[in-house]
Chains A and B, each alone.
Chain A
Amino acid sequence: MRQCYVKLSGILLVFVASLSMLQAAPPEVPKEIKATPGQLVRITVKTDKKIGTAKNFADEDGFFGELVAPTGQRQFVFQPPIQNAKSSYVLTFWTEGELEGSTCTITLSGVVPPTPPNPPVPPDPPTPPPIVSSFRVIFIWESMSTLTAQQNSVINGVDMANFLNSKTTKSGVDKGWRLKDKDSPVNNDTPIINELWSSVKGQITSTTPIPCVAVEVNGKVEIINLKNTQAEMIAEFKKYIGEK
């Protein structure tokens, strides 16, 4: 019995001694290193054992690498970014066989806080469309001059007719647009058109290009050039009534 106990104690001591040899200590590292943005710092880890590392930042947020070191130590470098650096970075080192690890905190001074994004600029409030109480059009031509095919299309085309029929201001069922020879009298149409035509004729001079177009909006009359296509002419009319 006594021989077994001694043998058993020996085994126990050897086991305890073996356990002590297997449980390694965390590596010795500086607890804190002060740095500035962009500054390269060296971290010396005193150990000759295998170690593992960890960091609390992504690769693109700071440079972390290892140098060739003398025996008995490991040397690492860290460099924070110049701009948009954090205020601190944490590096962790483990010795093989231990779980506690040692941390080294790189504390930065002179960190410029990131520029906040430009606040969104509120868009300009849209210009309210003009209130159109009346919109009338008179195409002016010389009936015995030969129109070009294009001019005839702009004045008499179906797209133009559909647009003007829907957009010009009617007087009852009477349309709000006309085609008039530049010499047409001012008394053979409806009263509203007669009045408008009288105003338009007063603006026609010897230099007014014929054919042309008179546009009336809210009582104001303007004579403009005939465009090359129905689409262009319609687009021009839309400007007068605040449409796109």
Chain B
Amino acid sequence: MPNMYKGNIPILEDFGTKRTDLTHPKGMTFGLVPRDYSVDPETMLAGPDSIQTIDPSEWDARYDEQEATQSSLEHVFLRGGQPAFVNLDQNGDGDCWAYSTGHSKMFTYLRDQMPVPRLNPHFIATYLKRYNGGWCGASMQVITDVGCCEEGNGPDQWPLHSHSIGLMNQTRLAAAAKNRVTENVYDLTRQVWDQELTSKQLATCGFNNIPSPSDFNWWGHSVCQVRWVRIERGSWGPLIINSWKNWGRYGLAVLRGSQAIADGAVACRY
């Protein structure tokens, strides 16, 4: 089995309880806390009942068409041989659950050919006053209702890696509102659904260029799915972008195996 996707993007295996330098590099922080349904009930986000899922029998044709025309989010991100932006870095804070959402909003800007602001998901964690971890749906709720500031030291920006609640003011909230996710967000991993449906929904979002923040309990980590990819014939998995600096290829990696199915995931439409 290959250990690299397209020869240069690492593939994370089905590790079980194993830890590797790739999944748990020294010094990196995580931040995923499994969803507490008593706090965040099933109904907090809409269900994608109207999504017409793409059947697995069509996945090969879809993937091949995207490869032929270079029309996936992966291609858009890497167009010209360089990434459209440097992946975000959560640094030493457990805010991965906010960074996966921040990445997804940036990817919608990229997909839609809009200017791509460099968002600062530390703003989201600070807004919720949630410094001990969370899940992607919680951050998506904030970016939908409130938005997210850009990274920077200006009066309408949020400083890099800051959790300073004192910076939360009307000017910054107004600036954050420019980066709201403005349409209904779909919960792709409700408890009532089995993994097969979750895979179909995530695959459909991948083929439709819908970025999807995704939580992996085995990893204790939340990342953003960029695309649904064929690792080799009959083997599929999410191409994800991580919020760790100097990791993977431009922050990209592919997950493979039974643990490649997200335990929590949402769809960021625009």
Chain A residues in the interface with B (C-beta under 8 A) = 143-147, 149-150, 152-153, 155-159, 161, 174-175, 177-181, 183-185, 188-190, 193, 230
Contacts and interface: CB of A to CB of B under 8 A. Distances in A.
B135 interface: no
> Which 8 residue pairs of A and B lie closest in terms of their CB atoms, listed nearest first?
A156-B71, A157-B69, A153-B69, A158-B70, A149-B65, A143-B269, A146-B52, A157-B71
Given A143-B270, A144-B50, A181-B270, A153 B204 contact: no
A143 B112 CA distance: 11
8 contacts: A144-B48, A149-B61, A149-B66, A152-B71, A158-B69, A161-B76, A175-B113, A188-B180
Contact of B178 (A147, A188, A230): A188
B186 A179 contact: no
Interface string B54-72: 1000000110011011111
B83 to A, nearest CB: 16
Given A152-B208, A156-B76, A181 B114 contact: no
A180 B71 CA distance: 16
Given A144-B50, A147-B208, A174 B115 contact: yes
A156 B183 contact: no
B69 A143 contact: no
Interface in B195-211: 204, 207-210
Contacts of A183: 183
Contact of B209 (A145, A156, A175): A156
Contact of A149 (B51, B52, B62, B267): B62
A143 B186 CA distance: 12
Contacts of B62: 149
- Chain A at the B interface: SS class: mixed
Contact of B115 (A153, A161, A179, A190): A190
A179 B111 contact: yes
B161 interface: no
Contacts of A230: 69
A102 B269 CA distance: 105
Contact of B182 (A147, A150, A188): A188
A150 B61 CA distance: 11
Contacts of B204: 146
Contact of B210 (A143, A177, A185): A143
Nearest to A147: B208
Contact of B208 (A146, A175, A190): A146
Contacts of A180: 112, 270
Contacts of A156: 69, 71-72, 75-76, 111, 209
Nearest to B112: A179
B79 interface: yes
Contacts of B186: 144
Contacts of B53: 146
Given A143-B269, A144-B269, A146-B54, A178 B182 contact: no
Nearest to A137: B113
Given A149-B65, A158-B79, A185 B182 contact: yes
Contacts of A146: 51-54, 204, 207-208
Nearest to A157: B69
A152 B114 CA distance: 18
A150 B115 CA distance: 26
Nearest to B54: A146
Which of B112, B180, B183, B186 has the largest count of A CB atoms less than 10 A from its CB? B112
Given A150-B65, A157-B71, 16 more contacts: A145-B52, A146-B52, A152-B65, A152-B66, A152-B207, A156-B72, A156-B209, A157-B70, A158-B69, A158-B75, A175-B113, A179-B113, A180-B270, A181-B269, A181-B270, A185-B182
Contacts of A184: 182-183, 270
B71 A189 contact: no
A230 B53 CA distance: 25
Interface string B99-132: 0000000000001111100000000000000000
Which of A143, A159, A161 has the largest count of B CB atoms less than 10 A from its CB? A143
A183 B269 CA distance: 11
Contacts of A144: 48, 50-51, 186, 210, 267, 269
A143 B113 CA distance: 15
A175 to B, nearest CB: 5
Given A146-B51, A181-B270, A184-B270, A189 B209 contact: no
Contact of A153 (B48, B66, B267): B66
B52 A178 contact: no
Contacts of B70: 157-158
